[in-house]
Amino acid sequence: KQEVTQIPAALSVPEGENLVLNCSFTDSAIYNLQWFRQDPGKGLTSLLLIQSSQREQTSGRLNASLDKSSGRSTLYIAASQPGDSATYLCAVPQSGANSKLTFGKGITLSVRP
C-alpha cells in the first residue's frame, strides 16, 4: 500500500528565502507525482506534475524534482513571498488504469514579511 509522507508539517521562513519542501513515498513504481497548493478553506491548485520519466519540472519560481529510486520528491521555491503562504501537498496515483491519488498530509508554509 502506497504511503506518502511530508515532513515537517509546518514551516515558517522570512520573505526572500529559498526553500525546499520534501515528499517521500514508499512504492517507487509510480507513474508520476503531482504537487498541489491549497489556501485555507479552498480547493487544490495543481502546481507541477512530474512524469516518472522526468527528473525535474519548472514553473516560474517553482522547481520540482523526482527521484523514484529513493522514493523522494522535492519542491523548491525560490525567493519566497508572503503570497506563497499556503499548504503544499504532494500526491501519487495508484498503479493501474485509474485516477486515485494518494496524498501526503501537506506542509503548511508561512512566509513572514
Partner 1 sequence: KAGVTQTPRYLIKTRGQQVTLSCSPISGHRSVSWYQQTPGQGLQFLFEYFSETQRNKGNFPGRFSGRQFSNSRSEMNVSTLELGDSALYLCASSFGAGNTDTQYFGPGTRLTVL
Q: Which residues bind partner 1 (CB under 8 A)?
A: 31-32, 34, 36, 41-46, 49, 51, 89, 91, 93-106
Q: In whole angstroms, how close is the CB of 15 to partner 1 at the nearest point?
A: 27
Closest Cα to residue 37, out of 93, 107, 113? Answer: 107
Cα 110 from Cα 48, distance rounded (Å)? 20
Q: In whole angstroms, how close is the CB of 5 to partner 1 at the nearest point?
A: 11
Task: Choose between 7 and 79: whose C-beta lies nearer to partner 1.
Answer: 7
Task: Choose between 85 and 108: whose C-beta lies nearer to partner 1.
Answer: 108
Q: In whole angstroms, how close is the CB of 96 to partner 1 at the nearest point?
A: 7
Distance set, CA 13 to CA 69, 78, 81 (Å):
30, 12, 10
Collapsing DSSP to helix, strand or coil, 84 comes out as helix
Q: In whole angstroms, how close is the CB of 49 to partner 1 at the nearest point?
A: 5
Task: Choose between 19 and 101: whose C-beta lies nearer to partner 1.
Answer: 101
Task: Choose between 21 and 80: whose C-beta lies nearer to partner 1.
Answer: 21
| 83 φ, ψ (degrees, to nearest 5) | -70, -10
